[in-house]
Chains A and B, each alone.
Chain A
Amino acid sequence: MSPVPKPLEPLIMHPRPSSIVAALYTLRDLDVDVVILHGPAGCSFKHARLLEEDGLRVVTTALDESGFVFGGHDELVNILNKVIEMFDPESIGIVGTCASMIIGEELHEAVLEVNPDVPVIEVEVHAGYRENTKGVIIALESALAAGILSEEEFERQKVLLNEATEVEKRHGAASKEYLEPSRGDTKYTVAKRIIQLLKEGKKCINILNAKKETGYMFADINAAVNQVAKDLGSDSVIVNMANLDENLGLDRVRGHARNIARDLKGMGVEVHEIIGGLDEYPVTGKTVSKLIAEKYPGFDFAVITGVPHAIPMDNLEGMEIISVTNGPRQVLPLKEMGHDHVMVEIDLHPKTLGVSNIVESEFGATLRELAREEMQ
């Protein structure tokens, strides 16, 4: 019997982070100290630099033409030795690139030669996978093999990743062949609208559904909604939902959840419903839908920050939806889902790397400022 051909996925023309980049972020989440990118000096440099801000050291073997032709084994051995000598790391990651993978470099050979006495996570990845989550999976598999990740957590991560991929295909960056980047609606106009709704005493579902460290800024928006309501003396009911479960995910991610929850508390915000962990943003939607149906029907508007497209529309229907994302390519899909106002927090990610406190958002600041003007 001849094999049944798989239907072709739509061609994605707009640039997205590659599997190499995804692997780098995963190693960061695993609290690896130093990552060696085995390939050209310029590969993934922008993300590599950002990750340096986040405490992960990223170095490169800087393979050049000669390296491509003759192989980069010696370079990798040298860098590995140097990394151990310079940083005295407790764990090391080695990430492949297109260049080293195409020429068939064997990362493990270098590790065997150097024989470090700390775990080394070897990630044989290149940028040629259609889904960048492949980079995460390969990194997690290697972490499992290196004994720094439990089988249970690995399986849990795999489920989440598959779901994340599906979410992106349904309404996210992989939903269309080409997505025009857009800044979305102006923050001034939408902030005014929220103030009006609050002044009218409309009931609000205020959801933080953030992806890991981006929560440090998105949470500021949810906090601002609460603070502004209070300042305006609004009698709106505000139900705060957040994916801030402190007992789920990798240690680093749990730490972020703890920090954000602590700061929200400090800002006088009560989180009424925990909808999952900070890495559970692709699956929290079901919980949100269920909660609204069972406990909070008939609300007037919703503010959703983080990954709003992961929240299904089922029980949001009938509410005025205000959502804030950090992806300029997310505006169109969100509008198509039926979100009334969509805003983008530009540069959110660089500003939330390496922090451990809530960071002020542009929309949060606009909302507070306008509310202050209202009060005068």
Chain B
Amino acid sequence: MKQIAIYGKGGIGKSSTASNVAAACADEGYSVTIIGCDPKSDSSITLLGGHRIPTVMELMQQRVEITEKDVVFEGYKGVKCVEVGGPEPGIGCAGRGIIVAIKTLQKISTVMQDCDLIIYDVPGDIVCGGFAAPIRKGLVNDTYVLTSGEYMPLYAANNICKGFARLGNQLNGVICNSRNAENEEAIVSAFARELGSDLLAFIPKDPIVQTCERAGFSVIEKEPESDIAKVYRKLARTIMERDSACVPEPVTDARLRELTG
């Protein structure tokens, strides 16, 4: 079973990448679970035709007895969807939320065992032990970093790699979600190389993604023949087949600035 986590700066497109990869893998016949760890809980919405599902933390906050059917929902082609949820920005501790919710999920459901692929859609940067919990608790065996070619997302990606290096965690690859920056593919490719890793996919900026999302669907479901769908399918295949990884060697900030010119 592949258990992967996609990390990257907030707003860089982790959720659309995660849901499209999930859908593409489901198309290929894999049984897939997606666990959204972001308090925004929008990892699964495009796999569920635009429906928002109750989050584990929401139910815990209501102090109700939670069962599998309350939090595990089947979406596109049988993809199992779970949303961890979390607090409003600025209060409480979202990291703790991830730890607690995942523990609860392990207790009440087999969704984390009976599948070929689990995707953890992890929020933002690794900022505390709670956000790194899926890795530290051994729930993730492959990690990917998503970035664009701009300085800030690269900075966040590099920081995440610092976290990985500290945890002795291996990086399986870098994915570029394009923002139409100049020389973007070359920049991210060089960045990945310097980390000791590879650029696995270059996802071009395509308005189809937003259009599908607004309608509540993944590109794979709504525009299966589009070019961008092909990119996601290729990435999904790469993820399922890839077994090389390395403990990343983060670059210096000066080097990062050089790279982004």
Query: Inside 8 A of B92's CB, which chain A residues have their CB?
Result: 67-71, 103
Query: Inside 8 A of A102's CB, which chain B residues have their CB?
Result: 93
Any A CB within 8 A of the CB of B163:
no
Q: Are B94 and A69 in contact (CB under 8 A)?
A: yes
Any A CB within 8 A of the CB of B254:
no
Taking the nearest CB of chain A, how far is it from the CB of B65, in angstroms? 14
- The distance in angstroms between the C-alpha atoms of A70 and B39, with both chains bound, is 11
Any B CB within 8 A of the CB of A65:
yes
13 further interface pairs, Cβ-Cβ under 8 Å (given A65-B100, A69-B97, A103-B96)? A66-B61, A67-B92, A68-B92, A68-B93, A69-B87, A69-B94, A69-B96, A70-B57, A70-B61, A70-B88, A70-B91, A71-B91, A103-B92
- The distance in angstroms between the C-alpha atoms of A102 and B91, with both chains bound, is 11
Query: Inside 8 A of A212's CB, which chain B residues have their CB?
Result: none
Q: Are B93 and A66 in contact (CB under 8 A)?
A: no
- The distance in angstroms between the C-alpha atoms of A113 and B241, with both chains bound, is 56
Query: Inside 8 A of A368's CB, which chain B residues have their CB?
Result: none
Any B CB within 8 A of the CB of A73:
yes
Q: Are A65 and B63 in contact (CB under 8 A)?
A: no
Any A CB within 8 A of the CB of B149:
no
Interface residues of A in 166-220 (CB under 8 A from B): none
Any A CB within 8 A of the CB of B186:
no
| A69-B87, A69-B100, A71-B87 as given contacts; A103 in contact with B61, CB under 8 Å | no
Query: Inside 8 A of A66's CB, which chain B residues have their CB?
Result: 57, 60-61, 63
- The distance in angstroms between the C-alpha atoms of A157 and B57, with both chains bound, is 45
- The distance in angstroms between the C-alpha atoms of A297 and B87, with both chains bound, is 69
Any A CB within 8 A of the CB of B86:
yes
Taking the nearest CB of chain B, how far is it from the CB of A39, in angstroms? 13
Taking the nearest CB of chain A, how far is it from the CB of B106, in angstroms? 15
- 6 inter-chain pairs at a CB distance below 8 angstroms, sorted by A residue, are A65-B60, A66-B63, A69-B100, A70-B61, A70-B97, A73-B91
Interface residues of A in 131-169 (CB under 8 A from B): none
| A102-B93, A103-B92, A103-B93 as given contacts; A69 in contact with B86, CB under 8 Å | yes
- The distance in angstroms between the C-alpha atoms of A70 and B85, with both chains bound, is 10
Q: Are A65 and B91 in contact (CB under 8 A)?
A: no
A 57-87 to B, binary, CB cutoff 8 A, 1 in contact else 0: 0000000011111110100000000000000
Interface-central residue, B60, B63, B87, B93, by most chain A CB under 10 Å: B93
Q: Are A70 and B87 in contact (CB under 8 A)?
A: yes
Query: Inside 8 A of A104's CB, which chain B residues have their CB?
Result: 91
Q: Are B87 and A65 in contact (CB under 8 A)?
A: no
Query: Inside 8 A of A70's CB, which chain B residues have their CB?
Result: 57, 61, 87-88, 91-92, 97
- The distance in angstroms between the C-alpha atoms of A194 and B94, with both chains bound, is 63
Query: Inside 8 A of A65's CB, which chain B residues have their CB?
Result: 60, 96, 100
Interface-central residue, A66, A71, A73, A103, by most chain B CB under 10 Å: A66
- The distance in angstroms between the C-alpha atoms of A71 and B91, with both chains bound, is 6
- The distance in angstroms between the C-alpha atoms of A70 and B60, with both chains bound, is 10
Query: Inside 8 A of B88's CB, which chain A residues have their CB?
Result: 70
- The distance in angstroms between the C-alpha atoms of A68 and B86, with both chains bound, is 11
- The distance in angstroms between the C-alpha atoms of A71 and B93, with both chains bound, is 7
Taking the nearest CB of chain B, how far is it from the CB of A111, in angstroms? 16
Which residue on chain B has the smallest CB distance to residue A68?
B96
Which residue on chain A has the smallest CB distance to residue B62?
A66
Interface-central residue, A67, A69, A71, by most chain B CB under 10 Å: A69
- 4 tightest Cβ-Cβ pairs between the two chains A and B: A71-B91, A71-B92, A69-B97, A103-B93
- The distance in angstroms between the C-alpha atoms of A102 and B94, with both chains bound, is 12
Interface residues of B in 23-53 (CB under 8 A from A): none
Which residue on chain A has the smallest CB distance to residue B98?
A69
- The distance in angstroms between the C-alpha atoms of A70 and B89, with both chains bound, is 10
Taking the nearest CB of chain A, how far is it from the CB of B235, in angstroms? 32
Q: Are A69 and B63 in contact (CB under 8 A)?
A: no
Interface-central residue, A68, A70, A73, A102, by most chain B CB under 10 Å: A70
Interface residues of B in 169-188 (CB under 8 A from A): none
A 40-71 to B, binary, CB cutoff 8 A, 1 in contact else 0: 00000000000000000000000001111111
B 73-100 to A, binary, CB cutoff 8 A, 1 in contact else 0: 0000000000000111001111011001
Query: Inside 8 A of A67's CB, which chain B residues have their CB?
Result: 92
Which residue on chain B has the smallest CB distance to residue A67?
B92
- The distance in angstroms between the C-alpha atoms of A73 and B63, with both chains bound, is 17
Query: Inside 8 A of B91's CB, which chain A residues have their CB?
Result: 70-71, 73, 103-104
Which residue on chain A has the smallest CB distance to residue B95?
A69
Which residue on chain B has the smallest CB distance to residue A106?
B91
Interface residues of B in 191-219 (CB under 8 A from A): none
Query: Inside 8 A of B86's CB, which chain A residues have their CB?
Result: 69
Interface-central residue, B57, B86, B92, B93, by most chain A CB under 10 Å: B92
- The distance in angstroms between the C-alpha atoms of A102 and B88, with both chains bound, is 16
Query: Inside 8 A of B94's CB, which chain A residues have their CB?
Result: 69
- The distance in angstroms between the C-alpha atoms of A68 and B96, with both chains bound, is 7
- The distance in angstroms between the C-alpha atoms of A71 and B63, with both chains bound, is 15
Which residue on chain A has the smallest CB distance to residue B130?
A69
Taking the nearest CB of chain A, how far is it from the CB of B127, in angstroms? 13
- The distance in angstroms between the C-alpha atoms of A103 and B91, with both chains bound, is 7
Taking the nearest CB of chain A, how far is it from the CB of B92, in angstroms? 4
Query: Inside 8 A of B87's CB, which chain A residues have their CB?
Result: 69-71
Taking the nearest CB of chain B, how far is it from the CB of A72, in angstroms? 8
- The distance in angstroms between the C-alpha atoms of A71 and B39, with both chains bound, is 14
